[in-house]
């Protein structure tokens, strides 16, 4: 069994930390739920990155692939597209109550691949 690649480790741990930070604004259940959901989805995104473009690819390719192969990011984008009238202010009312969930969820998925890239850079720098 091999070692875990530093990008994967940083990506998953970064997602868990992002979930902890986001959950602290609510309660302990939110901390556990947000951190676990973000970490699992980051692991899925890392598996896609391992397959294509590979974990040794350029940083911008890894960041884009890890961000947009994340199932939670895909769901957030789909939800935002469904709620576009509310997000643009064309529609108001009770149906728009949770319209901000999509952009907030998408924003929560963006920092963890950067943390993974930072972990990969640090490991390469330390090895040299």
| Residue 12 lies in domain | 6-123
CA atoms of 38 and 109, how far apart (whole Å)? 7
In a domain, 20, yes or no: yes
70-128 pLDDT, tens digit each: 999 999 999 999 999 999 999 999 999 999 999 999 999 999 999 999 999 999 999 88
Question: How many structural domains are present in the chain?
Answer: 1
In a domain, 1, yes or no: no
In a domain, 88, yes or no: yes
In a domain, 96, yes or no: yes
Tell which residue, 89, 112, 98, 93, has the closest CA to residue 40: 112
In a domain, 116, yes or no: yes
In a domain, 70, yes or no: yes
18-66 pLDDT, tens digit each: 999 999 999 999 999 999 999 999 999 999 999 999 999 999 999 999 9
In this prediction the pTM is: 0.92
């Amino acid at each position: 069994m091999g070692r875990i690649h530093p990008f994967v480790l940083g990506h998953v741990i970064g997602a868990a930390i992002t979930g902890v930070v986001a959950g602290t604004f609510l309660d302990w259940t939110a901390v556990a739920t947000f951190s676990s959901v973000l970490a699992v989805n980051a692991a899925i995104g890392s598996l896609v990155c391992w397959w294509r473009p590979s974990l040794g690819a350029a940083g911008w390719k890894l960041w884009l692939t890890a961000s947009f192969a994340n199932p939670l990011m895909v769901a957030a984008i789909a939800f935002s597209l469904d709620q576009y009238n509310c997000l643009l202010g064309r529609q108001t009312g009770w149906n728009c109550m949770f319209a901000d969930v999509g952009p907030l969820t998408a924003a929560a998925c963006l920092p963890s691949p950067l943390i993974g890239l930072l972990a990969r850079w640090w490991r390469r720098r330390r090895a040299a």
